[in-house]
């Protein structure tokens, strides 16, 4: 398996993972200005995989970037040239003692999974050693490639841009944290996890293109339907992937209002959706949140 493919799977993680909810259905973009006591920062909802046709990004992203001293991303991706780190990651994502996904799901679910993987032009034997979280991430990568929608996302775009501009970059989480999170996704409820994700994959291209359109225009209702409702079928994953992390990030965002710098926070759009989203939690703490 190439380092390029592995790196893309990490970029995707957020995706299943993808997307944001605007407070105004007819908003023009997915960028918010968050202010309190005369200080403010920007928070932008990102899509972790973005086809080249989606560039240039909405102008609000660039405006926020130019008005900020630094950017804050979810986590720094492992160096694709670090062979040792890649090997360690693959070991963490794989079953040991000769076990594979077939040992943890029903025969019926395994058969459905096998047929689905075959439809992607791949043999399940090449993927079945992976734990459920990484297995689903790989399937997402294959679906994106089949749909002709592969490309670097908003996060990667601004990470590279900030490096070129010598603008500081900070991260909410370590790469190790995200790797542990993916490695543990679906553990203990593998059958339900695989079934739920196979169901969501049935119309992947339609869902993903709809999500891109909703993200670009800030259509909150559509974003909620496409990004959040499907995840509600798996409350445990929803809590681990979104809700718990939202609470942790808000604590870090609070500290951004006591320094002299202005940050542009860029996180997957799903983290900005609903009652327990980053934006809702900030509003509950007295921050003013305005979509720009």
Summarised one tens digit per residue, pLDDT across range 4-25 is 444 444 444 444 443 333 333 3
**What global pTM score does this model have?**
0.86
Q: Using 50, 70 and 90 to split pLDDT, how confident is the model at 77?
A: confident
Mean pLDDT throughout 151-177?
Answer: 95
**Cβ(259)–Cβ(61) under 8 Å?**
no
Is residue 61 predicted with pLDDT exceeding 90? yes
Residue 264 pLDDT greater than 60, yes or no: yes
Q: Which is nearest to 104 in space by CA: 77, 125, 132?
A: 132
In the chain, what are the domain boundaries?
3-291
Task: Give the mean model confidence (pLDDT) for residues 83-94.
Answer: 90
The number of beta carbons lying within 10 Å of the beta carbon of residue 44 is: 26
DSSP state string for 167-212:
-EEEEEE-HHHHHHHHHHTTTT-HHHHHHHHHHHGGGHHHHHHHHH
């Amino acid at each position: 398996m190439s380092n390029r493919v592995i790196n893309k799977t990490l970029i995707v993680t957020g995706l299943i993972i993808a997307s944001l909810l605007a407070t105004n259905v007819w908003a023009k973009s997915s960028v918010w200005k968050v202010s309190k006591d005369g200080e403010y920062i920007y928070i932008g909802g990102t899509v972790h995989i973005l086809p080249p046709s989606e560039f240039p990004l909405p102008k609000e992203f660039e405006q926020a970037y130019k008005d900020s001293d630094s950017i804050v991303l979810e986590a720094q991706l492992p160096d694709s040239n670090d062979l040792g780190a890649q090997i360690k990651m693959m070991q963490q994502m794989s079953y040991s003692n000769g076990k594979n996904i077939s040992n943890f799901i029903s025969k019926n679910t395994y058969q459905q999974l096998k047929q689905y993987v075959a439809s992607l032009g791949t043999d399940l034997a090449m993927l079945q050693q992976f734990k459920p979280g990484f297995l689903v991430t790989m399937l997402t990568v294959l679906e994106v490639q089949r749909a002709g929608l592969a490309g670097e996302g908003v996060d990667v775009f601004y990470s590279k841009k900030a490096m070129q501009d010598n603008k500081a970059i900070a991260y909410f989480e370590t790469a190790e944290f995200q790797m542990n999170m993916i490695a543990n996704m679906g553990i203990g409820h593998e059958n339900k996890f695989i079934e739920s994700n196979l169901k969501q994959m049935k119309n992947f291209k339609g869902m993903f293109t709809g999500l891109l359109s909703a993200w670009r225009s800030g259509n909150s209702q559509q974003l909620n339907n496409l990004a959040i409702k499907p995840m509600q079928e798996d409350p445990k994953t929803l809590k681990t992937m979104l809700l718990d992390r939202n609470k942790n990030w808000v604590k870090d965002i609070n500290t951004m209002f006591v320094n002299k710098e202005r940050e542009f926070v860029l996180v997957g759009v799903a983290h900005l959706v609903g009652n327990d989203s980053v934006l809702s939690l900030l509003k509950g703490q007295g921050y003013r949140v305005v979509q720009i």
